[in-house]
A and B are shown apart, each in its own frame.
Chain A
Amino acid sequence: MSRVVLDVSGLGVALPHGSDRAHAVRDISFSVNAGEIVCLLGESGSGKSIIAQTVMGLLPAHVRATEGQALLLGEDVLKYTPEQLRAVRGVRMSMIFQEPMTALNPVMACGEQVDEMLTQHTALPAEERRRKILDIFAQVKLPEPERIYASYPHQLSGGQRQRIMIAMALMLEPALLIADEPTTALDVTTQAEILRLIRQLQREHNTGVLFITHDMGVVAEIADRVVVLQLGKLVEQGTKLEVLQSPREAYTRMLLDAVPSLEPPELAHQPEAPAVAPVLLVRDLQKTYVSRNWFGRKREVDAAIGVNLTVERGETVGIVGESGSGKSTVARCIVRLIEPTAGHIEVLGQHMHGRSIASLKPLRKKVQIVFQDPYRSLNPRQTVGAAIIEGPMNFGASRTAAWQRAEALMELVRLAPSALNRYPSEFSGGQRQRICIARTLAMDPELLICDEAVSALDVSVAAQILELLAEIQQRLHLALLFITHDLRVAAQICDRVIVMEKGRIVEQGRTRDVFTHPQQPYTRALLAAAPGREFAFGHKHAALAPA
């Protein structure tokens, strides 16, 4: 029954000369049995994707496997010629990628793309092929398979596109399915459906799955066995329960501890008694995008509608929701990176109307924002110091005073003051996010908005940034507006949460109340979809929580 589908032993992949390390991965051994899901778990730079690419024969030209072997059904794929590889791809092994947006050809109907694969590997007549494709579309639970067959990728949602990728991958019943972060680009509820689908199809077809992920929750949800990687080395492997509940290695324990718990802490710190005016007061905020087609016909999309919220001094308010829920739109309207269509925004009791640079000056001084992507949030042609002193100097600070303050801020965000003279490219993602935080703090803001500020970071780095934010908030009594799609993060740091769906607020309240007694069906669905719910992450070590 459990025959070995993939057996990797002693695998080493060399990187070209001049890279930051000699081997992408080294001395990797593991196996995948039929009907089993093996998760390759690691942070960025662990080499998990390289392993998948090696097995599929998709390594970039200058990167080669130099040691070991990868036996697919007993044959070493590393020794295959390009023709042999082409013959087994799709038939014996296939792959699903992270980005369903770019994995499909945008100018070809979805059905034809799946059909291409059948004409390539089988001699079935057209009639038969079409029947088979509609059949698998139904299996991956695509609605109206006939319509989907003729649809182009842009007409489908991300989840539907990923279903098509899965249909394509499983079409010819391969023995091995490699899934490279297949749900990372998807919303939680879609992610939960796709994970369930992969699990179900894999059981029906008795496929061996190599599932690559950085997400502990996903591992808890789907894995049979887990292989933990760090910087190209295998740290430990074992069954899911072994690794998640009694990890042997310190690195695995650190990873597990860094995952925030879904359960809000018992005593969320009590916000101070409301001052005279809240730091931020938003009434009936609305943002409507109007586009006109060639005939002048209007098309209106409400990105945010009827949004009311307040943030008090020293308080952390979270806005959670899926993509398209309007949470980022609200943040950008408050910071006035986009002009709201209607509504009333007050900062410390001062009404923010007008759109000229002069009338927005008080807003610019008191409200600052940290963005998601640390690699794009800093001007690559500006030193860190120049970036940090820019804001204060816009408001009339002298260069020397601003620089001294910047040095103090570097200490606050735990970076050496010498960092000020260096360029952003010299820093890692987590360090860059610290620099971005320092840049906002240089303005002495009253309100700090974090727009998915830790979503692009590795879990261990994200934990450090969250810790830093909490510490800074305590010290400076900042109001924090935290926008995130990650319920675990929201549970841990927010005093109150606001749940948004399709531009509207559906529920808001104390974090503990919302998480333990959600009132609205949408909130309940979001909470139910959070991966790895039955594992209580974030306590000293994970234990099976009472159901």
Chain B
Amino acid sequence: MAIEASPVSQRPSVLSKVARNWSVRIGVGVLALLVAVAICAPWMGTVDPAVMDGAVMNVLPGHSGEFTLLDGRAVKHEFWMGADSFGRDIWSRVLYGTRISLIVGLFVALVSLTLGGLSGLCAGYLRWLDGILMRVMDGLMAIPGILLAIALVSALGASLTTVVVAIAIPEIPRVTRLVRSLVLSIREEPYVEAAVALGTPTWKIMLRHILPNAIAPLIVQGTFVCASAILVESILSFLGVGLPSEIPTWGNIMAEGRVQFNQYPHNVLYPGIFLAATVLAVNMLGDGLRDTLDPKFNKRGSGK
């Protein structure tokens, strides 16, 4: 028996509900910290992450000494995280690596949500397109995601754009399926039928009545796509098929440190910690958003 819905002004708004969720708070907090680190990397006691100094090869974390830059100047430098076998500063590389991971995560999520959302919307609402579009998506899903990404990167050449595209393409079918299933249930809602009866053109119905009501689950899915993209980018780099090895990405740092892992575990450990923390933060944000945005919980005032 539904208890009459109270006016919204008395009910906590969705935003304040989201802001009160601890999972969201922790996720956003950690991510904000990472974004700050990525932006402020040049002013956080770092040197050029690509410069090698033969004199400091494999120094241990906490070593305090001098670092010779490209132009031959020697600067005083604290090796918080030590240096790798080429004499590159790990602290600098990890901090600059944050930029790559966050950019890849964000743009893969944006690209796959936009394209997947659009194709899902069309497949779900336009019956004649459904069959063709979904068979294409089924075909895409039949190829293992990482394999497809490797093939795309080697075909298009390694750059940030190709990596983003290569990771986003295997995610698109998953987003499409989600959005299509949402659209299939939303299109049966009486408010959509009412819009049809009012003579609203099809594209307006799709954008005004269907999309806004599918957006909450789409955002939640976006966070999971983002987390998986950050992981896949690291895997590609680690396997040596992602961005070139001189570019500081967490995967590249770990790949370089793998050979000497027994003697110098710090080369793998620090980027690993950053990677784990980032993915965990994004996933916690996603979990929190799912708990607060789920249409099952906020569709009606109350009732069963």
> Cβ of A377 and Cβ of B191 under 8 Å apart?
yes
A1-53 interface (Cβ within 8 A of B): 18-20, 24, 44-50
Q: Does B71 touch A at the CB level, under 8 Å?
A: no
Number of B residues near A (Cβ < 8 Å) is 33
List which B173-210 residues lie within 8 A (CB) of chain A: 189-191, 193-202, 204, 208-209
Q: Check B29 for interface membership: any CB of A closer than 8 A.
A: no
* A246 in contact (CB, < 8 A): no
Asked if A369 meets B197 with Cβ closer than 8 Å, knowing A376-B190, A381-B213, the reply is yes
Kindly state whether residue A335 has any CB partner on chain B within 8 Å. yes
A48 touches B1 (CB 8 A): yes
A123 contacts B by Cβ under 8 Å: no
How many A-B pairs have beta carbons closer than 8 Å: the answer is 99
Query: Are A425 and B201 closer than 8 Å at their CB atoms?
Result: no
Most interface-central of B6, B8, B199, B301 (chain A CB within 10 A): B199
Chain B binder among A129-137, A288-296, A387-395: A387-395
- How many angstroms between the C-alpha atoms of A381 and B211 in the bound complex? 10
Q: Are B1 and A49 in contact (CB under 8 A)?
A: yes
> Chain B nearest CB: distance from A357 CB in Å?
7
User: Do residues A337 and B12 form an inter-chain contact, with CB atoms below 8 A?
Assistant: no
List the A side residues contacting B300 at CB < 8 Å.
Answer: 375, 425
Which of B8, B196, B197, B202 is most buried by chain A, counting CB atoms within 10 A of its CB?
B197
Within 8 A of A (CB), among B260-304: 299-302
Complex partner residue of A391 from B2, B189, B199, B208, CB under 8 angstroms: B199
Contact B199 A365 (CB under 8 A): yes
Query: Contact check: which of A377, A394, A426 meets B200 at CB < 8 Å?
Result: A394
Q: Within 8 Å of chain B (Cβ to Cβ): is A371? A: yes
Residue from the list A364, A369, A375, A382 in contact with B199, Cβ < 8 A: A364
Contact yes or no, A337 B8, CB < 8 A? no
Q: Does B198 contact A379, Cβ atoms closer than 8 Å?
A: no
Other-chain contact of A439, B189, B194, B299 (Cβ < 8 Å): B194
Asked whether, in the complex, the Cβ of B301 is within 8 Å of the Cβ of A361, the reply is: no
Cβ of B198 and Cβ of A364 under 8 Å apart? yes
Q: Which residues of B contact A46 (CB under 8 A)?
A: 1
Chain B residues, Cβ within 8 Å of A436 = 194
B5 contacts the other chain (Cβ, under 8 Å)? Answer: yes
Tell me if A491 counts as interface (CB < 8 A to partner B).
no
Q: Is A380's CB within 8 Å of the partner chain B?
A: yes
For B191, the chain A residues whose CB sits under 8 A away are 376-379
**Shortest Cβ gap from A467 to chain B (Å):** 20
Asked if residues A377 and B194 are in contact (CB atoms below 8 Å), the reply is: yes
The complex places the Cα of A371 from the Cα of B204 at a distance, in Å, of 21
Q: Is A307 an interface residue when CB atoms closer than 8 A count as contact?
A: no
Among B4, B10, B12, B212: residue with most chain A CB under 10 A: B4
Residues of B near A375 (CB, < 8 A) are 300
Residues of B close to A69: CB separation below 8 A = none
A443 to B, closest residue via Cβ: B198
Is the CB of A162 closer than 8 A to any CB of chain B? Answer: no
Q: A325 — which chain B residues lie within 8 A by C-beta?
A: none
Tell me if B15 is interfacial: C-beta within 8 Å of chain A: no
Q: How far is the CA of A423 from the CA of B300 in the complex (A)?
A: 12
Asked if A428 CB lies within 8 Å of chain B CBs, one says yes
Say yes or no: is B142 at the interface (Cβ < 8 Å to chain A). no
- List, in ascending order, chain B residues with CB within 8 A of A360's CB: 199
Cβ distance B188 to chain A, nearest Cβ, rounded Å: 9
Contacts of B136 in A (CB 8 A): none
Is A507 engaged at the interface, CB distance under 8 Å to the other chain?
no
Beta-carbon contact of A357 and B10 below 8 Å = no
Q: How far is the CB of B51 from chain A (nearest CB, A)?
A: 52
Determine whether the beta carbon of A425 is less than 8 Å from that of B301: yes
Q: Which of A20, A361, A382, A427 contacts B3 (CB 8 A)?
A: A20
Interchain CB contact under 8 A, B209 and A379: yes
User: Does A368 count as interface, using CB distance less than 8 angstroms?
Assistant: yes
Residue among B8, B9, B193 with the most chain A CB within 10 A? B193
Q: Closest residue of chain A to B200, judged by CB?
A: A394
> Looking across the interface, which residue of chain A has its beta carbon closest to that of B192?
A379
Residues A373 and B198 in contact, CB atoms below 8 Å apart: no
Query: Is B8 touching A390 in the complex (CB atoms < 8 A)?
Result: no
Do the beta carbons of A394 and B7 come within 8 Å of each other?
no
Q: Which residues does chain A contribute within 8 Å of B193, judged by CB atoms?
A: 337, 369, 371
Q: Is the pair A357, B190 in contact by a Cβ cutoff of 8 Å? A: no
B201 touches A357 (CB 8 A): yes
Q: Let me know if A20 and B6 touch, CB within 8 A.
A: yes
Residues of B within 8 A of A422 (CB): 8
Query: B194 is contacted by which of A18, A44, A371 (Cβ under 8 Å)?
Result: A371
Q: Which of A24, A47, A372, A390 contacts B198 (CB 8 A)?
A: A390
Q: Are B4 and A428 neighbours in the complex by a CB distance under 8 Å?
A: yes
**Inter-subunit contact A44/B197 (CB<8 Å):** no
The residue in chain A whose Cβ has the minimal distance to the Cβ of B194 is A377
* Neighbour of A379 across the interface among B1, B7, B202, B213, CB < 8 A: B213
Most buried by B among A46, A48, A368, A426: A426
Is the CB–CB distance between A361 and B299 below 8 Å?
no
In the assembled complex, the CB of B191 is this many whole angstroms from the nearest CB of chain A, namely 4
Asked whether, in the complex, the Cβ of A45 is within 8 Å of the Cβ of B3, the reply is yes
Q: Is B212's CB under 8 angstroms from A428's CB? A: no
Q: Is B1 in contact with A45, judged by CB distance below 8 angstroms?
A: yes
Partner of B8 from the list A335, A395, A426 (CB cut-off 8 Å) is A426
Interface pair A20/B8, CB less than 8 Å apart? no
Which chain B positions have C-beta within 8 A of A439?
A: 194, 198
Is the pair B198, A380 in contact by a Cβ cutoff of 8 Å? Answer: no
| Nearest residue, chain B, Cβ from A21 | B3
Q: How far apart are the CA atoms of A532 and B259 in the complex, in Å?
A: 86
Q: Which residues of B contact A380 (CB under 8 A)?
A: 213, 299
- B197 CB to closest chain A CB (Å) equals 5
Please name the residue on chain B nearest to A181 by beta carbon. Answer: B1
Considering the chains assembled together, what is the distance between the CA atoms of A360 and B202 in angstroms?
A: 13
On whether A395 and B213 interact (CB within 8 A), knowing A377-B190, A436-B194, the answer reads no
Question: A47: which B residues are within 8 A, CB to CB?
Answer: 1
B4 to chain A, nearest CB (A): 5
B2, B8, B201: the one contacting A45 at CB < 8 Å is B2
With A371-B190, A425-B8 as given contacts, are A391 and B198 in contact (CB-CB < 8 Å)?
A: yes
Nearest residue (CB) in A for B208 is: A382
Q: A45-B3, A395-B199 provided; 14 other pairs, C-beta below 8 A?
A: A20-B301, A337-B196, A357-B202, A368-B197, A368-B198, A369-B194, A371-B193, A373-B190, A376-B189, A378-B194, A379-B209, A390-B195, A425-B300, A429-B4
10 closest Cβ pairs, A-B complex? A364-B199, A391-B198, A20-B6, A381-B212, A371-B190, A49-B1, A377-B190, A379-B191, A394-B199, A45-B3
Question: What would 29 A/B residue contacts be, using CB atoms closer than 8 Å?
Answer: A18-B12, A19-B3, A20-B10, A24-B3, A49-B1, A50-B1, A360-B199, A364-B197, A364-B198, A369-B193, A369-B194, A371-B193, A376-B189, A377-B191, A378-B194, A379-B195, A379-B213, A381-B212, A381-B213, A390-B200, A391-B198, A391-B199, A391-B200, A394-B201, A425-B8, A425-B300, A426-B7, A426-B8, A443-B198
Which residues from chain A sit less than 8 Å from chain B, CB to CB? Answer: 18-20, 24, 44-50, 335, 337, 357, 360-361, 364-365, 367-369, 371-373, 375-382, 390-391, 394-395, 422-423, 425-429, 436, 439, 443
